[in-house]
A and B are shown apart, each in its own frame.
Chain A
């Protein structure tokens, strides 16, 4: 049950786009390829941002998008806004009825 690999931090200026990667193995991201992504502001509960790899729940801005290639899933945020500054986590079903999260990425909006 090793954590999925995410960059510890990314940053961007308002209006720019950033991408956060989430790398796993053929047993998790590569096998069950539809990861979910969560946003967490300090002191708050995680919030679902992307499910089934690329779908957005109602109310989530279309500036958020998800994709996947091989064992790596990605979250892209376009048109960065100050409110996007938060921690982001990917999550994948692993195997034998277990789940695994990424280590988390701190997004800083410069």
Chain B
């Protein structure tokens, strides 16, 4: 079924950088596109970024474009999110999730999810 474990969260000052990691196990990591999704305190889920199975294709939500960069190391079964120029509104729990895509139905879903890592941007 697979398991995802995020790490790297913490308290950081506005304008500084942080890199999150997500380590995968129990499935063939290099075969799947991967996503980051975040959840601000008391708020809903917000899609953040996606990377293709081989890391050659990426996209980011407008809210983080130019500041955050998703990447992956398939040799280490690890997904990353480099977060630069952090703002108070980036404070959230960040989840990584595996994308499942069915070409027949042109349908996408996320499963499993990691437990999340909290990023707090505050001076």
Q: Name A's B-contacting residues (CB within 8 A).
A: 1, 3, 32, 34, 36, 38, 40, 45-48, 51-53, 57, 87, 89, 91, 93, 96-104
Contacts and interface: CB of A to CB of B under 8 A. Distances in A.
Contacts, number: 74
Interface stretch (B10-18, B23-31, B71-79, B111-119): B111-119
Contact of B113 (A46, A87, A96): A46
Interface residues of B, number: 28
Contacts of A34: 105-107
B61 interface: yes
Contact of B108 (A40, A47, A89, A99): A99
Nearest to B4: A45
Given A52-B105, A98-B61, A89 B45 contact: yes
